[in-house]
Amino acid sequence: MASEQNEPRDPSREDSVREDSVRDQAFERWFEELMHLDTEERSARLESETVLSDRDLDDFLDALEEGDQGRARQHLSALLRFALDEEIQASNELRARIEELRRLGPNSDRFHRGRKIGQGGMGVIHRVTDRSLRRELALKSLRPDRMRGGRPDPSLVRRFIDEAQVTAQLEHPGVVPVYDVGVEPDGRPFFAMQLVHGVCFGDAIRALHASGDNPAAKVAGGITWNRERAIETLVRASESVAYAHSRGVVHRDLKPDNIMVGAFGAVYVMDWGLARLVGEEEEVVAEVDAYASPTVEPASVVTDGRDRSQSDHADPTTTREGTVLGTLAYMSPEQAQGRHGDVGPASDEYALGAILYHVLAGHAPYGELGRAADDFDTLYDRVRQTRPLSIDEAAPQAPAELRAICRRAMAAEPADRYPDVGDFVDDLRAYLERRVVRAHRTGVLVSAAKWIERNRALSGAVAAGLLLACLSGAGWLASEARAAEKALEAQSLESARDNYASIARLDELERSASELQSIDPSLIEAYEAWIAEADAVLELARTEFGAGTIGAWYDSRVVKSSAALPRRGPESQQRAQALDEARRIERTAAVLERSGFPQEIVIDLRAMAGEAAAAADSLRSGSVSAADALGLGGVPFAAALASAGSPERDSIERRLDALAGLVPGPRRGTTPEFGLGVEDRLESARAMVAWQAGDEARAAWRDAAAVAADPAGPYGGIALVPDRRLAPLGVDPLSGLLEFAHLATGAAPRRGADGRLELGAGSAVVLVLVPGGDDLLGNGAEPGDELYDPLARDDERRLHTVYLDPWLMAKHELTQAQWERLAGANPSAYRYEDSGDDSITITPLNPVENVRWSEAVAVLATVGLELPTEAQFEVAASARSDDRWPTGDDPASLRDAANLVDGVAAAIPGAPSQWAIYLAKNPEHTDPFVVHGPVGSFPANAYGLHDVAGNVYEWCADAFGPYPAEDDPGAPPLWFGRGERVAPGEPALDPDADHVARGGAFTSSHQEARVTFRERHAARSSFSNLGLRAAMRAPLGSEGE
């Protein structure tokens, strides 16, 4: 006994005991929670976890229904294997974090506690006195009732500490400073912050809308509130949010009760408890949280006066904790729908727009529902699935400019909101300063009216005279106002068609350009005919519109068009915008000057026109200056156009600019409407024909056909016929398969001395000819089945056979440089143009990402390419091996062979916490990249394809659906040849369906990099880890061809 008592302490055994305790407590929380749910709710609760099979889930649910808790516990333990492992890791990380704070932070005895001044769903706030510095502070600590068996709830502790650290790092007058952070004796963290004396903005809004004539009712916090003061408060709060965004922080719970107005006018944005870094993956705290009950957690703000805790009714202004975090009434659609990858700065902008809604309407969005909703979940469904009453209906008496700002900030799609919160602030300030609000009406008439409103000293007679001069002396100015009304604009264009034959022919040219989007040598004659017709229309326009107006444009500008437009790329679009802006501003200045407007406006406008022209010059080289082309340097082009006085003139001019090739449009450049310009298509098609006519091309095709026709070769004897879009590159020395360059996408790369392709930014897409055959896809459903994989998810667990014809599959993911050549812009979140972070280097050879499925399909179609089906992807990625990964059957084979989450990425500041969990499942994995790397950085698989595991996920052609069972006649059939699943009665490519992505990404664990893993995304989705790989149908002929 004595020896046992003196036995040395074993830390590893203590850790094991502690981990077992954590596992047991987590398991009991899960079991207790599931016992209180019905069968359907239990299934939904477990659906997001990594389960072993449907059978495990069914057996668990059956055992519960039968009351056999012992058997239920056994099956639940299997189901929660990964969830419990993650809980243990999270507990270990949290324990280390708490110990560090206990060691470095202040003792809680330093603060003498006074009364409680606020309480929220996570924390409680007390007024305290700092004994050492003798100052009054606010101290926020984790609520005592948020303890688990005497310990703090780990998920809430993590969020609480994050709040303290995020708030402390936001050094801005509008963010309450955090002075210190520490740990209570019972393990609950706390942080001390400035005590704010004042009123919350919610109380201010209520005072603003107080009924009756009593002025005292409009007072809150010692301030008399009117609409302008409320807007100014929102502006200052929004400026704080904009600052946070500049530091990469998103608030995610903005609402009036989280804005404080100090006694001396300072405005603070409070409660950063839900804040996260932009791009950080969501931590779903409710998934393993026994406290995630369906009841509403109270919400409050820090006030000096009273506790603003709210009751547990279904209040649309209450913060909910769980899978969806935030406050319902002010929550953006992407946040309410749980689209965590889409939640970002635009979501905060939506919330600020919702606060503006509250200011204007007197109630929050969805306030018309009242507080009588049956329960929180019912109300949550309403918020998630429907739009609130429009601001025009909720506040018809509010100024039109403010309603327009509110509508734009609360647009359903983030892309339709302001570009950033700074632009939202600019429009609010413009309203307060009586300038033009961009979200509302724009144009010179509005600017002039606002100028007169700002300059009240100007006599009424002079003001009226200036407006009258604009309307009567400048027809184009009046037409600009009319053009804001779509009906009148359509009427003007119809008038042009009736009066000018060139306009009708212009319409037809634009339609035919859209129909000629593909680059195909067989269309060379059609391209040439289109260009000839375009020249004829330009000549006719010169005659019809007269030498003094459009004719002057033709003489001074079209003759220079050959030098005036950069060939391709985003610069051409940017320059076009700068040219258009300079033209518009100069015309405005010319007419205002003739109309007697004050010179200060004219001078400012001319300066702006010069800046726009200079910007255009900086975007092009070796060409006539933008100022000369616009007439700003001598020829009075703007005045000539202005004097024409025709309501359709501006529209005609812009379209003829594009027809001449001066700006991107149907003739040159790249636009979303027309794709590549017809001249660009013609140039590429002629280059293809010229190359194919040479001896080198004939020899290359002869050699390729011989390899394909060899019965003993990899293709078993197929007939390959020349395709003028492709240049054979010979046989890859490692895979033994034929490779081709797609000439419409760039220059054919050369092979180095070792036989490997040497890629550059201008390289074409390289396509590998993959052999056809019968293939068994998917995974076995049960242990012992063929191709059974314990890591497989349920949507992978069905074996099915498909026959695939030989096809061409891109050797690499489509690069940013290649996409830019085809689409004219780079949509990637990590772009080579913006690369500057020391830890992240992006090159033109990095994969394009942030592309929607429909965009991928449309852009590839312009050059005769398509997305692969997921059957084609799985076969090509596996190279017809039974291994679970392209690199082998052991996850260790991925080390230094695939770009997945690794120690380099997981260690960078701000890395999503989920990455560390993924890394823990495969701790040996390493690769040199933080985000995606240049294509081809890792060894190819056996078919010569690079990055089919990791780097970025890749869109597939298929809509997501269940695998067909070979004995199930009702399952969606497979298209033979491509292996594409088509549901009965549905189109082959449904742009509205969820679609499949394959291959894993730099954000993935080894489990997601398996060849059978299936990712599901809405077609409209775009993410920084989602790109594409091209495919093409092989040019096959008959045996004797």
Binding residues: 140
- Give the residue carrying structure tokens 């969830």: 83
Give residue 93's Cα distance to chain centre: 30
Contact, 862 vs 519, CB < 8 A?
yes
Contact, 364 vs 316, CB < 8 A?
yes
Contact, 905 vs 898, CB < 8 A?
no
Could you tell me which of 364, 272, 360 has the C-alpha nearest to residue 318? 364
Residue 901: Cβ-neighbour burial (10 angstroms; 0-12, 13-18, 19+)? buried
3-class DSSP assignment, residue 780: strand
The structure tokens listed for 72 are: 């239920």
- Rounded-to-integer distance, Cα 753 and Cα 441, Å: 63
- Rounded-to-integer distance, Cα 947 and Cα 897, Å: 9
Could you tell me which of 816, 811, 700 has the C-alpha nearest to residue 756? 811
Long-range contacts of 251-254 (CB under 8 A, 24+ apart): 251/275, 251/348, 251/351, 252/276, 252/325, 252/326, 252/335, 252/343, 252/347, 252/348, 253/319, 253/325, 253/326, 253/327, 253/330, 253/351, 254/330, 254/348, 254/351, 254/352, 254/355
Residue 113 bridge partners (DSSP): 128
Residue 564 dihedral angles phi and psi, to the nearest 5°: -90, -10
The structure tokens listed for 219 are: 């007072």
- Rounded-to-integer distance, Cα 340 and Cα 286, Å: 14
Q: What is the DSSP string of 290-343?
A: TT--SSPPP-----SS------SS--TT-EE-SSS-EEGGG--HHHHTT-GGG-
3-class DSSP assignment, residue 221: coil
The structure tokens listed for 341 are: 């990858």
Residue 180 bridge partners (DSSP): 192
Give residue 225's Cα distance to chain centre: 38
The structure tokens listed for 305 are: 């006066």
Residue 376 dihedral angles phi and psi, to the nearest 5°: -60, -45
- Rounded-to-integer distance, Cα 634 and Cα 629, Å: 10
What's the chain's Rg over C-alpha atoms? 33
Size (the chain), residues: 1041
- Give the residue carrying structure tokens 């260009």: 531
Q: What is the DSSP string of 24-68?
A: HHHHHHHHHHHHTS-HHHHHHHHHTS--S-HHHHHHHHHHHHHT-
Instruction: Give Dmax (Cα) for the chain.
Output: 114
Binding residues for ATP, by number, are 140
3-class DSSP assignment, residue 594: helix
Stated as kind and residue range, the H or E segment containing 995 is strand 994-998
Please report how the helices 649-660 and 550-557 are oriented relative to each other, as an axis angle in degrees rounded to 10: 20
3-class DSSP assignment, residue 777: strand
- The conformational region for residue 965 under phi > 0 = left, psi -120 to 50 = alpha, else beta, is beta
- Rounded-to-integer distance, Cα 525 and Cα 990, Å: 33
